[in-house]
Amino acid sequence: MKRTWMLWFLLAAAGCDAAGYSLWLLTPREKRNVDAEFPNLKNHTVAVVFYVDEKTQLDYPNVCLTLGAKVAEQLRQHVKNVKVIDPLRVIRYQDENLHWDTQDKKTTATDLKADFLLIVSLVEFSTRVPGQMNAFQGRISAEAKLYDSILDEGDNLLWESKRGLDVVYPKLPQYSERMEPHIRQETEQKFADMLAKKFYDHEIEINVEDE
């Protein structure tokens, strides 16, 4: 407590702006509850399947594995008793069934022994600013749909993302190539967190400026 007041005193002496910023840092953030858009994954098995175009797969060969692993981890951590099919098993299935994307979703879910099939279509995946080879910034844009393995094809779409799942990290491009692995890691993690939150109740901080 003494350190907090000492910090406040020093910043106050430095000027009102610094003191105001300190007070902002020390003030508890207001939060609000957000309900899951689809709360029924708990106690079930889900397979997360990524659809990626050929160019993205050539530029980022292991994107389905790295993203799939992060999404699986977030779901396992936050959704009660959910079982997520191993991403390696999903990728192997896609490799062995080249027309998986045109067959009915019920078949895919059944083959993978999953109750639900979460298909994530990557619209954009990049770690570089378009048109600037030396500017690094993670960008992921995707659409997601959840299918049931029991209902008949045509009726088994249970949920879809109402708006695009978009992540840009960091806010400003970086110009050091050494930053690219970190940027990719953080961008993928933020995307996985964003997607997983569609399936469990959670809290978010309220930004007064956005109200």
Per-residue pLDDT in tens (0 to 9) along the chain, 211 residues = 445 545 445 445 555 555 554 554 556 668 888 899 999 999 999 999 999 999 999 999 999 999 999 999 999 999 999 999 999 999 999 999 999 999 989 999 999 999 999 999 999 999 999 888 899 999 999 999 999 988 665 668 999 998 889 999 999 999 999 999 999 999 999 999 999 999 999 887 876 444 3
Give the pLDDT confidence score for residue 207 in this predicted structure: 66
Give the pLDDT confidence score for residue 11 in this predicted structure: 47
Phi-psi region of 43 (alpha: psi -120 to 50; beta: other; left: phi over 0): left
Give the pLDDT confidence score for residue 27 in this predicted structure: 63
The radius of gyration of the chain from alpha carbons, rounded to an integer in Å, stands at 21
Instruction: Output the six-digit token pair for 12.
Output: 């106050």
As a dihedral over the C-alpha atoms of residue 116, residue 122, residue 128, residue 132, rounded to 10 degrees, the angle is: -170
Could you tell me if 101 and 51 are in contact, meaning their C-beta atoms sit under 8 angstroms apart? yes
pTM of the model as a whole: 0.83
